[in-house]
A and B are shown apart, each in its own frame.
Chain A
């Protein structure tokens, strides 16, 4: 029989987080700090609106781009929160999570041999999506000393004649890094000069702890070359509803909609009705959750300080990215040894790219009580390692 498989997909490695979790999940009593989704339930009024839409029999497809009412609310929201205006009719599409938006945006813009710049450590799907679209991913290894921000120098060095897209994943998973206005302005200048497009993944925008998130699309000259990606999973604790969106120049959104209509048809209708409620009346919920995450972030930063574990202060998402290089172990070795000795699961930084070597991703989408226990165990583990020298 012929090989039934595509060589492209076979050559892509499965996500590195998976391997680790398979092992951690076999230990029933392990404390996990590995999950990348909110520990809150979706606020009740949002769930209620979803239930109501089912009761009313709204079980049909929506238009391919999504409910007009939802697109309107999304555009209002981006104008209100981040000062960027989009046309809900032609410049907005509702997708199945931010992850679909990433995929179709890259596919809509890439021809074979084009290059996509992916700063790492970052969310694991940019690189495979680029490869599946036939592009060549070009990795920028972000550095701890820059607080894992993308610098203009790094970007300039990575650009070639073939560069088409820069992926801008901030606030960042797994590092928690953010890009402030001044950082973005330098990046924007280069993108305009070199005529490259930006895929700005702003899924963690609401989880910013040093002033409001700044979208690169709000910088003059950038809106016409930026696809903004966001969604409801992180801000409203709606991961299971699978709802995201993309906004950008009409000509790109039109082509994205084409892929979306062939592959997906439309995003789940129930989720779209619930999301309208989230945007209309969810500001207080977002604020409450952000406050709670920020308290946990403060708690962890203080715990690292007390155990003398270096960690730059991350101002976004719900991850911290401590530096474990002093112990002379790889991230994976450290994570497995920690799981073995103390029964706590954290994710090795290398799951998010080789530049994550020497770091761990610790999620604080967990209760303060759980974080307290886990940090107590980390102190013991770290002290034991240091004693052994």
Chain B
């Protein structure tokens, strides 16, 4: 039941409880209870809206930063990761296998804002060995959604 609810709302968090219940053949109360339980258990961590900011006048710059760090004894990467993800500018932080350790996604209003964050704050952290910053030039697809897709019904009329 939980997985059915999660699959249903994953792509559409504008939840109308009744609609979820009807489509999944459950009662509204059951759905509401399950949602509340999953929220408190930290399974559902938030409800977001996917926005193509390029279509809005407000300028936003996104960057992916590769970070090499030296892990600490007994703590591994967790402590340095926490140190980094606590900055509000940082949107997501992943521990990565391969050529570097942490992948940090961040958002800023200008290039200068991001570069000063990287040079002033990130690089100066004790465990950080090096950083490589990639600025996002264009978003084609985000969270499984193709931005700028026309989404027209191209099916033609035919019989039978």
- Judge whether B160 and A124 touch: CB under 8 Å: yes
Provide a sorted-by-A list of 17 A–B residue pairs whose CB atoms are within 8 angstroms. A17-B160, A18-B159, A21-B157, A21-B159, A39-B153, A39-B155, A124-B159, A291-B7, A295-B8, A296-B23, A298-B22, A298-B23, A298-B24, A298-B25, A299-B19, A299-B23, A302-B22
Residues of chain B within 8 A (CB-CB) of A286 are: none
Closest to B151 in A: A367
Residue among A21, A22, A368 making CB contact with B23, cutoff 8 Å: A368
A125 CB–B CB distance under 8 Å: yes
A295 and B160 in contact (CB under 8 A), knowing A35-B155, A39-B153? no
A15 CB–B CB distance under 8 Å: yes
Residues of chain B within 8 A (CB-CB) of A37 are: 155
Residues of chain A within 8 A (CB-CB) of B24 are: 295, 298
Residues of chain A within 8 A (CB-CB) of B159 are: 14-15, 17-18, 21, 124
A368 to B23, CA, bound (A): 10
Question: Which residues of B are interface residues toward A (Cβ below 8 A)?
Answer: 7-8, 19, 22-25, 153, 155, 157, 159-160
Closest to A19 in B: B159
Interface SS majority for chain A: helix
A14 to B159, CA, bound (A): 9
Residue from the set B7, B19, B23, B153 with the largest chain A CB neighbour count within 10 Å: B23
State the interface size on chain A (CB cutoff 8 A): 22
A295 and B155 in contact (CB under 8 A), knowing A17-B160, A123-B160, A124-B160? no
- In order of increasing CB-CB distance, the 4 nearest A-B pairs are A295-B23, A124-B160, A18-B159, A15-B159
Residues of chain A within 8 A (CB-CB) of B22 are: 298-299, 302
- Judge whether B155 and A15 touch: CB under 8 Å: no
A270 to B26, CA, bound (A): 43
Additional A-B contacts beyond A17-B160, A32-B153, A299-B23 (13; CB < 8 A): A17-B159, A21-B157, A22-B157, A25-B157, A36-B160, A39-B155, A123-B160, A295-B23, A298-B23, A298-B24, A298-B25, A299-B19, A302-B22
- Residue-by-residue, is A204-236 near B (CB-CB < 8 Å gives 1, otherwise 0)? 000000000000000000000000000000000
Residues of chain B within 8 A (CB-CB) of A22 are: 157
Residues of chain B within 8 A (CB-CB) of A18 are: 159
A21 to B22, CA, bound (A): 31
Closest to A128 in B: B160
Residues of chain A within 8 A (CB-CB) of B19 are: 299, 368
- Residue-by-residue, is A6-17 near B (CB-CB < 8 Å gives 1, otherwise 0)? 000000001101
A368 to B12, CA, bound (A): 11
The minimal Cβ–Cβ distance linking B5 to chain A, given in whole angstroms, is 12
The minimal Cβ–Cβ distance linking A87 to chain B, given in whole angstroms, is 32
A84 to B112, CA, bound (A): 68
Residues of chain A within 8 A (CB-CB) of B153 are: 32, 39
- Residue-by-residue, is A135-167 near B (CB-CB < 8 Å gives 1, otherwise 0)? 000000000000000000000000000000000
Residues of chain A within 8 A (CB-CB) of B7 are: 291
Closest to B18 in A: A302
